[in-house]
Amino acid sequence: MKWALKFASIEKSVVQDEKFLYTIVSYSAILAMFANLNSFQFPFIGLMSSVIYLGINAVFLGNAFFKKENAFFRLMFGILLFTMFIGFVGWLTLIIHNLDITRVTLVLLVVATSSSLFNRRMRHRNAAK
């Protein structure tokens, strides 16, 4: 029960994102992944930055498109939608040109920016109703 309350407060904080704080954290996670892929290549850094990136953007997309579901399903549907979205943008990039570390970073930036904007747009749309 405590986990559900803690997740709800974290989710609410991420969804509000008035000053784009979590978007900046997502960009920082992308920067950490980029630096790790180019020089350090430590699995722990890659794992932690990937989990932070996935968590923030999955919550953004889950709340943008599945607002009426409960928290667990919003998170699961957000992860699935995030996976589909990153796969689609990566596929487009692969069709246009080969994927390398720089283009993977650009794909991650496009997905993070889109997720943040979807969340912001749907939040404002729901507030206007």
* 78 to 36, 122, 128: CA distances (angstroms): 26, 14, 23
Secondary-structure breakdown of the chain: helix, strand, coil percentages, each rounded to the nearest 5? 85, 0, 15
The answer to whether residue 11 sits within a structural domain is no
Q: Could you give the count of Cα atoms lying within 13 Å of 23 in the half-sphere of its Cβ?
A: 19
The answer to whether residue 7 sits within a structural domain is no
The answer to whether residue 2 sits within a structural domain is no
CB 59 within 8 A of CB 78: yes
- Give residue-wise pLDDT tens across range 94-125: 898 888 899 999 999 999 999 999 999 988 88
pLDDT of residue 1: 63
- In the chain, the number of structural domains is 1
Taking residue 15's Cβ as centre, other Cβ atoms within 10 Å add up to 19
pLDDT of residue 63: 92
The answer to whether residue 37 sits within a structural domain is yes
Q: Which domain holds residue 31?
A: 19-128
The answer to whether residue 3 sits within a structural domain is no
CB 54 within 8 A of CB 82: yes
The answer to whether residue 80 sits within a structural domain is yes
DSSP-assigned letters across all residues of 57-93: HHHHHHHHH-TTS-HHHHHHHHHHHHHHHHHHHHHHH
The answer to whether residue 88 sits within a structural domain is yes
**Poorest-confidence range of 14-23, 38-47, 71-80?**
14-23
The answer to whether residue 33 sits within a structural domain is yes
